[in-house]
Amino acid sequence: MMRVAMVTTHPIQYQVPWLQKLAARDGIDLQVFFAMIPDAQEQGREFGVSFAWDIPLLQGYSYKVLENVARVPSLTTFSGCDTPQIHREIRKGRFDAVIVNGWVAKTCLQALVACRLSGTPCIVRGEANGLRPRARWKHWAHHVLLGQYSAFLSIGGNNRRYYLESGVRADRIFSTPYCVDNERFASAADAWRREPGRAGLRARFGLDADRPVFLFSGKFVEKKRPGDVIDAVRMLAGEGPPGVQVLMVGDGALGAELRERAAGLPVRFAGFLNQSEITAAYAAADCLVLPSDHGETWGLVVNEGMACGLPALVSDQVGCAADLVTPGRTGDVFACGDVAALAKLMGSRGRDPGMLKQMGIEAHDLVRDGYNFERVVDGVMAALAAVTGTEG
């Protein structure tokens, strides 16, 4: 039996399913450590609303919540997760390997130090992709940091390239593609399409039943550039009668400003939608739009949309663009901040609903077959075999 620990900040809806599947694998004894269980206010801080995820996140695996000694416990700051207790847990746990979720929280670096002191192999799964401009000293610091891990779980092509360019050996990198619960999203969207049906859904959101719908879903924060979608609609509206409409799902610091900018345009705001409701928006839409800058290290909302049968228009700074978006097949890519290019894509794709539907089918098939939790667990198992000397 291989004893494995996972260290992460909190239960994450995109992470729990593969932890459950890993815990169910023969020969694996998994213990998960959380730095905190956020309350509704902390969970929704960047959305500007308090909420708890409406799907179970603490079932199917053994977990322990560490004592968080941070002065202000938080998920949005490096020092908000400070858990020196992890040293004792790793030392007494006698784990064969420890997996850590990145290095942007103090808890994760504390786990790395604990592994180094105890001689325990440490495997990291981070999001860095090399798209964010960094000072030379930060590149050097990352090179030194990455030299401390035993293996790396890559989430996609940019992430893998970043590791290689940072001096990581190719045989220490294992593919664990970023993904969502494709089956849950697809089946829920199909259920909405049956009842109340697309026309009913569009009526619910205040949308026209016949015009194509482009969907933005996410936090209303600077890095996601939600205003670019509204500005693109304004450009299209200036060219004649509105041919497209936009559904904005989410909330956050930019909410009031965005609503003001959208006045008089075919843009509707649905507010924050939890996991059981978000698929209604996907089912009502024809295409997802994600105009984010390089702060969007992946963009799992694209996986969600594709699982529901939507193609995606994404900026070239979105981390998943290189993996998930094949122009003209599963979506399109435009230069970040180029609102005119986005408007042109929305206009041209909106005039060809049949093309959007076909692209959505290809997008769905892509994430179903290549970006799923089974592949994640297979990659984790390969990494565990490599660091414990049991491969082959």
337-364 confidence digits (pLDDT tens):
999 999 999 999 999 999 999 999 999 9
**Are residues 186 and 172 part of one domain?**
no
The one-letter amino acid at 279:
T
Number of domain units in the chain: 2
| Distance in angstroms between the alpha carbons of the first and the last residue of the chain | 17
pLDDT in tens, 229-272: 999 999 998 776 668 999 999 999 999 999 999 999 999 999 99
Q: Give the pLDDT confidence score for residue 254 in this predicted structure.
A: 96
Domain that holds residue 114: 2-177+372-388
pTM of the model: 0.96
Using only C-alpha atoms, the chain has a radius of gyration, in whole angstroms, of 21
pLDDT tier at 185, thresholds 50, 70, 90: very high
Q: What is the pLDDT of residue 259?
A: 98
Pair 300, 347 in one domain: yes
276's tokens: 């059981």
151 strand-pairing partners: 123
CATH assignment of the domain containing 328: 3.40.50.2000
Are residues 66 and 130 both part of a single domain? yes
Domain match, 161 and 187 both: no
User: Is residue 143 pLDDT above 80, yes or no?
Assistant: yes
pLDDT digits (tens, 9 = 90+) for 30-55: 999 999 999 888 898 888 888 888 89
- Residue 46: what pLDDT? 80
364 and 305 within one domain:
yes
Query: Residues 134, 268: one domain?
Result: no
Instruction: Let me know how long the chain is.
Output: 392
Instruction: Tell me how far apart the alpha carbons of residues 226 and 206 are, in angstroms, rounded to a whole number.
Output: 19
d(CA 236, CA 316): 22
Residues 365 and 378 in one domain: no
String of DSSP letters for 237-284: HTTSS---EEEEE--STTHHHHHHHTTTSSEEEEE---HHHHHHHHHH
